[in-house]
């Protein structure tokens, strides 16, 4: 199995120059069906942008469109859209043999003094990960990429269970060195869409878009466990909208996100 840190270590610049594309070979253990796992696609976009703009302020927001399938050797193209005094907008394309697979727009922004402060993303009270059972059958019974993560069920329902379309899961990289911001993005898309709790049988799904805001960063010395809540809001006409929240084990909010998912059942 290719660990997350080994995968990133193998990223290379295809040429010289400020906007030279980067190359990465995604192994089969990071696949989701015929394509690269969406969370990894987004994470590779983030990693490439951070390497290209090493002096950029912190990442605040990102929007990803998963345009088409991609696997194997991929090219990542990064270009600036606009840079101001405190913000940087960057476009990133993850490209495979069939063209653009993932298109991202990333927004970096420096912190600024403000008289306004507010936060209302309450973390649910759940049992610790060690007291929760595995989410995927046999611990690694999902798509190929799920072997890269530990996933424990802290609440909510399972796919095909008929329960309310919501997951509450403890998730963690199996790679203990995967502690970067891009690794956090790769982790945040781990479970299947919660719409699958209402499926009568397994069927294809495909994430169309993912918008996320980075609202906090975990302690670099914690144990890596993150609590993810993913809840479907609407399911109709072959599409589902869902909201997603990610906290660290101390209850600090890290990511607030939304997805639009195509369901083929």
Q: How many domains does the chain have?
A: 2
Q: Do 81 and 136 belong to one domain? A: no
Q: Do 56 and 105 belong to one domain? A: yes
pLDDT digits (tens, 9 = 90+) for 179-228: 999 999 999 999 999 999 999 999 999 999 999 999 999 998 899 999 99
Of 226, 192, 185, 220, which Cα lies nearest the Cα of 206?
192
Q: Do 139 and 52 belong to one domain? A: no
Q: Do 77 and 30 belong to one domain? A: yes
**Average model confidence (pLDDT) for the chain?**
94
Among 109, 142, 176, residue at a domain's last position: 109
Q: What whole-number distance in Å separates Cα of residue 156 and Cα of residue 244?
A: 13
Q: What is the pTM of this model?
A: 0.95
CATH label of the domain that carries residue 190: 2.40.160.210
CATH label of the domain that carries residue 38: 3.10.129.10
Domain that holds residue 64: 4-109
Q: Do 68 and 170 belong to one domain? A: no
pLDDT digits (tens, 9 = 90+) for 228-238: 999 999 999 99
Of 224, 226, 236, which Cα lies nearest the Cα of 257?
226
Residue 7 CA from chain centroid, whole number: 16
Q: Do 102 and 133 belong to one domain? A: no
In a domain, 216, yes or no: yes
């Amino acid at each position: 199995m290719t660990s997350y840190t080994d995968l990133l270590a193998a990223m290379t610049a295809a040429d010289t120059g400020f906007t030279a594309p980067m190359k990465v070979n995604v192994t089969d253990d990071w696949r989701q069906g015929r394509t690269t796992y969406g969370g990894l696609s987004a994470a590779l976009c983030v990693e490439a942008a951070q390497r290209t703009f090493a002096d950029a302020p912190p990442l605040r927001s990102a929007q990803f469109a998963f345009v088409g399938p991609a696997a194997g050797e991929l090219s990542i193209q990064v270009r600036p859209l606009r840079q101001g005094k405190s913000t940087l907008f960057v476009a990133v394309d993850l490209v495979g043999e069939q063209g653009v697979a993932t298109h991202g727009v990333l927004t970096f922004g420096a912190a600024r003094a403000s008289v306004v402060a507010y936060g209302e993303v309450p973390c649910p009270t759940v049992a610790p990960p060690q007291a929760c059972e595995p989410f995927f059958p046999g611990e690694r019974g999902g798509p190929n990429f799920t072997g890269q993560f530990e996933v424990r069920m802290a609440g909510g329902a399972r796919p095909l269970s008929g329960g309310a379309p919501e997951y509450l899961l403890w998730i963690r990289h199996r790679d203990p060195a995967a502690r970067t911001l891009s690794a956090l993005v790769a982790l945040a898309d781990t479970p299947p869409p919660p719409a699958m709790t209402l499926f009568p049988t397994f069927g294809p799904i495909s994430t169309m878009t993912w918008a996320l805001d980075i609202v906090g960063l975990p302690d670099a010395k914690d144990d890596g466990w993150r609590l993810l809540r993913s809840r479907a809001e609407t399911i109709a006409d072959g599409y589902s909208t869902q909201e997603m929240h990610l906290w660290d084990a101390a209850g600090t909010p890290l990511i607030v996100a939304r997805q639009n998912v195509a369901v083929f059942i």
